[in-house]
Structure 1
Amino acid sequence: MNFLTLDLNLLRVLDALLHEGSTVKAGERLGMSQSAVSGALSRLRHALGDPLFVRHGQGLRATDYAASLATPLRVELDRLEELLCGGERFVPHEAELSFKIAGSDFFAEMLMPRLATDLRRKAPGIRVQLVDLVPYSYVETLERYEADLALLPDTQVPDWVEKRALFRSSFVAIAARGNPRIAAAGIKAGEMLPMDLFCDLGHVLFSPEGKTSAMGDAALARVGRQRRVVMTMPVFSGVCRAVSVSDLIALVPRQLAEQLSDQLALSIHPPPMPIDPPLIISAWHRRSSANPAHRFMREEIAQVLSSLNEGGELPLP
């Protein structure tokens, strides 16, 4: 390949094809016709000496060589964009943009109201959208521009994703005030539920995927016990409301329980086994790290959520 004669616009087409897996969608992303994208792909194949993509169903699947180019190509294109556009001035109060956050409905209660207040004062032209976090698919969500930031429990991330520790949150057990079996046992709000009662009561489990075990079950297994999960919910609000009108109980983040306890008439109890407070992080695509608007939003979100932290110092960003 003669790099001096390579049309660098073809690299933008290759990047779009790698992300979209379709000449039609790549064309929509770039403002090009399908035929123009197909022509560009033909020139790329000739220049790089590789098929780059093979037909797979209704879309295209990258060859091993093309797939190996995806991350470094995106990094270099972002670097070029930063070189050419990095000097643009960002003034929060004058900014007009949208920012999409992927996260559970925990953040609808614990982040969005205060963030709305802060942005109304600092950056009224920024529109924020909270969308459902799809577990195990947040990487694809970030990669395909479907979210600008993901909020989730700490996890391993690929090298093109950056993350920042935000807060730790312990879990508590919630029950309806006046739960008959808890009342019959003489347990008051704030008192620990006995292990036998905790395991025997029916549990509602937060699980977007519909799983019937989670962190609480692992903690019980470590002490040789097991609970009865009788219902799962994809949102925390559903978990809390189901508990509030039944004799079921649930494990939920302490901050959320305290936020909703009066509204839903919930009693809060320490669980009878230790559960390590999970570390909640923000994660984003490295291409956005130097973007001043993205950096501004990351800091605003971190500032709001840092007030929720419990359990000591956080790992450095």
Structure 2
Amino acid sequence: MDIKSVDLNLLPVLDALLRHRSVTLAARELDMSQSAVSTALGRLRDTLGDQLFVRTGRGMLPTPRASQLAEPVNTILDKLRDEVLSASGFVAADSERTFTLGLSDVGSYVLWPRIVSAVAQQAPSVRLRMRVVTQPLIASALESAEIDVALGAYPDLPDTLYQRRLFERKYVAMVRIGHPLAGKRLSVQAFARCPQAVVRLASGIQDRIDETLAQQGLTRERVLEMPSYLMLPPLLDAGDHLAVIPGQLADAFARHGQFKLLKLPFDLPASVIRMHWHKRFHEDAGNVWLRGVISSNFA
């Protein structure tokens, strides 16, 4: 039998008849006339090639074929109601869904622990995964659902992505507590002369520093370039390098290490941390819930 020839609207009728064994009661539950239920039963008999129900002195009794269909028909209708027609389909407290978050190295250090804690409070069985992603990979990763949301300062992402502003981060200079500049007011000249560990990322903040110094005829004299902010603490702790890093990350480093934070001697624009997701998943109930948890903690 070709499924295209089967009217699936007949399944609720069969289910109601199997439970009530009465055309009258089935019609009342389905809000149909008795004649319409009887017509539907006739079509079911033709489709399945079986009488399905036989009238007896004890009412309508199912045939063996009809009895065999009771459980699968009920299962099909339950899945249709719960997984296809449900308005949400996602209950955080009961869900075992896995979400993958795309974060920068800063986000993995500053944001990730708070997100894990917040999700665990509302959805103890939800599983979280983290990927450190670079800006060129974000759009395709969100579109393909390799990641569910991306968090960070990522300028110039495509219009296929939705976004929400979470917070701003300002930059500070960080040195070890015993550094010659620790506890002093940092001048532009002293900043330029100090050996520096530089992390160049998509935010472009290091290029902005170079431009600011160039306007005053200065350049950073000794620069050590590194790929990640997370590599900075042991380097700064071991010598006299200075690093310009996001304030929230500097605060976290200072709590766990012997570092001093210094106000920069020039103004830098704050980076805006945003949450990004693909329009494919804008109305996905689980994605909506996850975005709500993140927004409530950081927006």
TM-score (norm 2): 0.66
How far apart are the structure 2 equivalents of 1:251 and 1:111? Answer: 19
How far apart are the structure 2 equivalents of 1:299 and 1:127? Answer: 17
How far apart are the structure 1 equivalents of 2:115 and 2:149? Answer: 14
SS of 2:93's equivalent? helix
- Return the offset for 1:232: 2.4
CA distance 1:192–1:235, shift in 2 (3 Å): same
Alignment map for 1:119-158 (pairs within 5 Å): 119-158=119-158
For residue 259 of structure 1, what is the aligned residue in structure 2?
Answer: 252
How far apart are the structure 1 equivalents of 2:281 and 2:259? Answer: 41
For residue 90 of structure 1, what is the aligned residue in structure 2?
Answer: 90
For residue 195 of structure 2, what is the aligned residue in structure 1?
Answer: 202
- Return the offset for 1:202: 1.4
- Could you tell me which runs of 5 or more consecutive residues in structure 1 were left unpaired when the two chains were aligned: 1-82, 307-317
For residue 117 of structure 1, what is the aligned residue in structure 2?
Answer: 117
**Contact between 2:88 and 2:285, CA under 8 Å: does it hold in 1?**
no
- Return the offset for 1:278: 1.1
Aligned residue pairs total 216
Alignment map for 1:174-193 (pairs within 5 Å): 174-179=174-179, 181-182=180-181, 188=183, 191-193=184-186
How far apart are the structure 2 equivalents of 1:302 and 1:218? Answer: 34
For residue 165 of structure 1, what is the aligned residue in structure 2?
Answer: 165
SS of 1:244's equivalent? helix
**Contact between 1:95 and 1:126, CA under 8 Å: does it hold in 2?**
yes
Cα deviation, 1:278-298, whole Å, max 9, x if unaligned, reads: 111111110111011101111
- Return the offset for 1:132: 1.0
Cα deviation, 1:167-195, whole Å, max 9, x if unaligned, reads: 1010000001111x32xxxx51xx53111
Q: Which moved more, 1:248-257 or 1:115-124?
A: 115-124
Cα deviation, 1:122-178, whole Å, max 9, x if unaligned, reads: 101111122112132211222232211112215233222111111101000000111
- Return the offset for 1:85: 5.3
CA distance 1:277–1:91, shift in 2 (3 Å): same
Cα deviation, 1:286-314, whole Å, max 9, x if unaligned, reads: 011101110111111122223xxxxxxxx
Q: Which moved more, 1:105-114 or 1:192-201?
A: 105-114
**Contact between 2:162 and 2:277, CA under 8 Å: does it hold in 1?**
yes
Question: Looking at CA atoms only, which structure, 1 or 2, has the larger radius of gyration?
Answer: 2
- Return the offset for 1:224: 4.3
SS of 1:121's equivalent? helix
Alignment map for 1:239-250 (pairs within 5 Å): 239-250=232-243
Cα deviation, 1:96-134, whole Å, max 9, x if unaligned, reads: 111111111212222222222222221011111221121
Alignment map for 1:22-33 (pairs within 5 Å): none
- Return the offset for 1:93: 0.7
- Amino acid corresponding to residue 250 of structure 1 in structure 2: A
**Contact between 1:204 and 1:249, CA under 8 Å: does it hold in 2?**
yes
- Return the offset for 1:84: 5.0
Q: Which moved more, 1:120-129 or 1:286-295?
A: 120-129
**Contact between 1:174 and 1:267, CA under 8 Å: does it hold in 2?**
yes
- Amino acid corresponding to residue 104 of structure 1 in structure 2: S
**Contact between 2:143 and 2:280, CA under 8 Å: does it hold in 1?**
no
| RMSD between aligned residues | 2.4
For residue 304 of structure 1, what is the aligned residue in structure 2?
Answer: 297
**Contact between 1:241 and 1:264, CA under 8 Å: does it hold in 2?**
no
SS of 2:135's equivalent? coil
How far apart are the structure 1 equivalents of 2:85 and 2:143? Answer: 21
For residue 102 of structure 1, what is the aligned residue in structure 2?
Answer: 102
**Contact between 2:193 and 2:222, CA under 8 Å: does it hold in 1?**
no
For residue 280 of structure 1, what is the aligned residue in structure 2?
Answer: 273
- Return the offset for 1:229: 5.5
